[in-house]
Amino acid sequence: MIRLPVLRPRLPSAEQLLPYLRTLDICRIYTNHGPLLEKFQARVAAQLELHDGGVVCTSSGTSAIIGSILASAGRATQQRPLAIVPAFTFVATAAAVMQCGYEPYLADVDADSWMLDPSSFIHHPVLHKAGVVVPVAPFGRPVPQEPWFEFRSRTGIPVVIDGAASFDTILQAPAKYLGDIPLALSFHATKSFGIGEGGAIATQDTDLAARAAAALNFGFQGTRNSHSAGTNGKMSEYAAAVGLAELDGWKSKYTALSNVMALYRQSMETAQLSKLLLASPDISTSYALLACRSSDEAKSVERSFHQHNIDYRRWYGAGVQDHKYFSNFPRAHLASTSDVLSRVIGLPVAPDLSETEVERVVTAIREAISG
Ligand SMILES: *Cc1c(COP(=O)(O)O)cnc(C)c1O
């Protein structure tokens, strides 16, 4: 059996890129808010039902988090040195807060939603030392604005949502998932909407968006004079060209990914395992997750995948605290994070994953679980 990769991204073809690349030849503007970026930002804003100026494109999802923090909370202070981030995330969330001078405080997530629960934080003892809170959309499950808006109003602590993988899920209800709290998106090749490397900040607060854009361009505000903490996190015209072509094909890519998830659902149902599958529309179409009932069950599925030459991924590993560099930062008791991440396995995904390939995956799961 040939190896089945865990992810086979498909981005726009050379053919689809060519018209946009020709614009580059004509304009000879290659970065710094050229015509392709302006067009891409406006089209993303329209897609998200935001006003022009509500979307700031960035060089990565990580720089979108950094820009959002610098524009809302600024850099860490002596009085508020901590950033509260969930341990249940890709390590980029913790890396981003550190780039803004914060020490990450790794919090546990709710056992069911896999997200930070704002109501459990209102009286948290570390809150008075926190300069920013960064809730994460786990596997793209979108974070509602309202509870965090209320949290911010009550505590005065800025909030930035790491919704890196949630581009497709927030489109289900933009009004619920977009608002004054800035949302950081990733357009990494592995995400459903992918351009290679890139990202965006999306918010209804256009002043905040303008400050974020400045922070990601060395703190320049119109002139070449730095007014705030900053870095270079801009999106180039080349990346914007890929973004425009990806938008052109987005509808059909999303349909293809959704069809793959329907195949998983069908096949898991036939195997009477549908309760273990977590997929779109609950989470992003870039993930199909097997949520096993125990870590032992997960290990036996992994063994079966090895035997069948099927790739899988523990996308968030065992949690941020498990990374060597982050193992000594302050943290809560991470019961839910450890439990859930010991049971969840990322299954193969591609827009062109075939029915036969899905069957192959589900057969391997069935063998492990019934055998
Ligand atoms: C992908 C991802 C990021 C990082 O995005 P990049 O574009 O790779 O910088 C951050 N947080 C989460 C939850 C992610 O899934």
DSSP collapsed to 3 states, the chain: CCCECCECCCCCCHHHHHHHHHHHHHHCCCCCCCHHHHHHHHHHHHHCCCCCCCEEEECCHHHHHHHHHHHHCCCCCCCCCEEEEECCCCCHHHHHHHHCCCEEEEECCCCCCCCCCHHHCCCCCCHHHEEEECCECHHHCCCCHHHHHHHHHHHCCCECEECCCCHHHHCCCHHHHCCCCCEEEECECCCCCCCECCEEEECCCHHHHHHHHHHCECCECCCCCECCCCCECECCHHHHHHHHHHHHCHHHHHHHHHHHHHHHHHHHHHCCCHHHEECCCCCCCCCCEEECCCHHHHHHHHHHHHHCCECCECCCCCCHHHCHHHCCCCECCCHHHHHHHCCEEECCECCCCCHHHHHHHHHHHHHHHHC
* 57 in contact with ligand 1, CB cutoff 6 A: no
Provide the pLDDT for residue 121.
Answer: 83
Provide the pLDDT for residue 34.
Answer: 94
Let me know the angle formed at the C-alpha of 351 by 356 and 246, rounded to the nearest 5 degrees: 165
Q: How far is the centre of ligand 1, averaged over its atoms, from the C-alpha of 19 (Å)?
A: 29
pLDDT < 50 stretches in the chain: none
* 90 in contact with ligand 1, CB cutoff 6 A: yes
For residue 182, give the nearest of 74, 99, 69, 298 by alpha carbon: 69
* 93 in contact with ligand 1, CB cutoff 6 A: yes
The whole-angstrom separation of Cα 342 and Cα 135 is 21
What is the atom index within ligand 1 of the atom nearest the CA of 96?
A: 10
* 96 in contact with ligand 1, CB cutoff 6 A: no
Q: In Å, how far are 90, 185, 256, 292, 328 from 317, measured between CA atoms?
A: 8, 21, 27, 15, 17
Mutate to test the pocket of ligand 1, among 188, 242, 349 (most ligand atoms within 8 A of CB): 188
- Top-level CATH class of 14-248? alpha beta
CB atoms < 10 A from the CB of 25, how many?
7
Provide the pLDDT for residue 122.
Answer: 87
Provide the pLDDT for residue 295.
Answer: 97
Mutate to test the pocket of ligand 1, among 143, 162, 192, 344 (most ligand atoms within 8 A of CB): 162
Mutate to test the pocket of ligand 1, among 62, 141, 235 (most ligand atoms within 8 A of CB): 62
Q: How far is the centre of ligand 1, averaged over its atoms, from the C-alpha of 307 (Å)?
A: 30
The whole-angstrom separation of Cα 284 and Cα 276 is 16
Provide the pLDDT for residue 371.
Answer: 53
What is the atom index within ligand 1 of the atom nearest the CA of 197?
A: 7
Provide the pLDDT for residue 11.
Answer: 98
* 141 in contact with ligand 1, CB cutoff 6 A: no
Dihedral over Cα of 312, 298, 254, 309: its sign: positive
Q: How far is the centre of ligand 1, averaged over its atoms, from the C-alpha of 236 (Å)?
A: 19
- Write the CB contacts of 229 (distance below 8 Å, at least 6 apart in sequence): 70, 74, 75, 100, 215, 219
Q: How far is the centre of ligand 1, averaged over its atoms, from the C-alpha of 195 (Å)?
A: 13
Provide the pLDDT for residue 1.
Answer: 84
pLDDT digits (tens, 9 = 90+) for 286-339: 999 999 999 999 999 999 999 999 999 999 999 999 999 999 999 999 999 999
What is the atom index within ligand 1 of the atom nearest the CA of 315?
A: 15
Query: Domain residues of the chain, as ranges?
Result: 14-248, 250-312+347-370
What is the atom index within ligand 1 of the atom nearest the CA of 163?
A: 13
Phi, psi of 185 (to 5 degrees): -115, 150
Q: How far is the centre of ligand 1, averaged over its atoms, from the C-alpha of 103 (Å)?
A: 19
